[in-house]
């Protein structure tokens, strides 16, 4: 995956700076305690424990939802990348995979990719909404139009993903399940079941053929992932353009 996320990184870095500025202005004691403890121990977790006893709600509480939404979005991106990498590696002799389950894992990772892509788009939409209302609205009466403009490509991509991939998987059908009908396999499968007196199909056998095509699945979903991340990055790039960071 070669997609860059410069817009999201710029947003996150700018957000950290304005949040830190808020602490400097409203709660210098918090910063003094944090830095002193960090210098004494060299342990950031001990520094956080020492400083968290100092109240910071005044002036800082408004930043927590935005910081959380940004982290949530970045974690979803990471999950998407991890899922793609696992799909690329499966099947592989380098992985501890029970023999005969490669197709099942390919099937699982394809579904997992759909889930995390849908989740990522939802998180990006929520981040944009929170950011526009917290950062743009106070300085721009046209904030609603900006929110609609920035969110539009995310909404369109999310709608397309849900209609073509998520909804079939969630409500019935989807990759793998429809294959026997689409490829006219049910005719032969029913005869084999009757002749062999084995009416319970082996899920691993049924999905085994998917293992042969895991690279094609990976390449297809990798391209879709690049598109998704590019749309998100461009949207948040526009958000940055409408955010007067130096006036916050």
Model pTM? 0.85
Please report the sign of the dihedral spanned by the C-alpha atoms of residue 167, residue 170, residue 174, residue 175.
Answer: positive
Residues 59-106 have pLDDT tens digits of: 899 999 999 999 999 999 999 999 999 999 876 655 556 666 778 888
Q: Report d(CA 142, CA 165) in Å as an integer.
A: 35
Residues 172-191 have pLDDT tens digits of: 776 667 777 877 878 887 88
Q: Report d(CA 235, CA 7) in Å as an integer.
A: 8
- DSSP letter at 52? T
Of 28-32, 44-48, 214-218, minimum mean pLDDT range: 214-218
Q: Report d(CA 229, CA 123) in Å as an integer.
A: 12
Give the residue with greater pLDDT, 153 vs 178.
153
Under a CB-based contact definition with an 8 Å cutoff, are residues 8 and 74 in contact? yes
Q: Kindly state the average pLDDT of the residues 221-233.
A: 95
């Amino acid at each position: 995956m070669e997609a860059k996320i410069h817009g999201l990184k710029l947003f996150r870095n700018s957000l950290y700076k304005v949040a830190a500025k808020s602490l400097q202005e409203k709660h210098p004691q918090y910063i003094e305690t944090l830095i002193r403890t960090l210098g004494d121990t060299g342990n950031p977790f001990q520094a956080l424990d020492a400083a968290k006893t100092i109240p910071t709600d005044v002036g800082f509480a408004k930043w927590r939802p935005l910081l959380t939404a940004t982290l949530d979005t970045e974690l979803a991106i990471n999950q998407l990348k991890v899922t793609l990498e696992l799909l690329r590696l499966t099947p592989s002799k380098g992985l501890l995979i029970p023999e005969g389950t490669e197709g099942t894992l390919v099937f699982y990772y394809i579904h997992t990719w759909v889930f995390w892509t849908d989740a990522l788009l939802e998180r990006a939409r929520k981040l944009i909404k929170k950011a526009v209302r917290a950062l743009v609205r106070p300085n721009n009466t046209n904030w609603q139009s900006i929110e609609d403009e920035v969110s539009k490509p995310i909404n369109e991509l999310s709608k397309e993903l849900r209609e073509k991939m998520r909804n079939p998987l969630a409500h019935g059908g989807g990759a793998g399940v429809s294959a026997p009908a689409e490829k006219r396999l049910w005719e032969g499968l029913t005869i084999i079941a009757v002749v062999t007196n084995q009416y319970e199909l082996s899920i691993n056998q049924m999905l085994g053929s998917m293992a042969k095509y895991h690279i094609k699945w990976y390449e297809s979903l990798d391209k879709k992932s690049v598109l998704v991340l590019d749309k998100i990055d461009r949207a948040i790039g526009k958000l940055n353009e409408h955010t007067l960071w130096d006036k916050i």
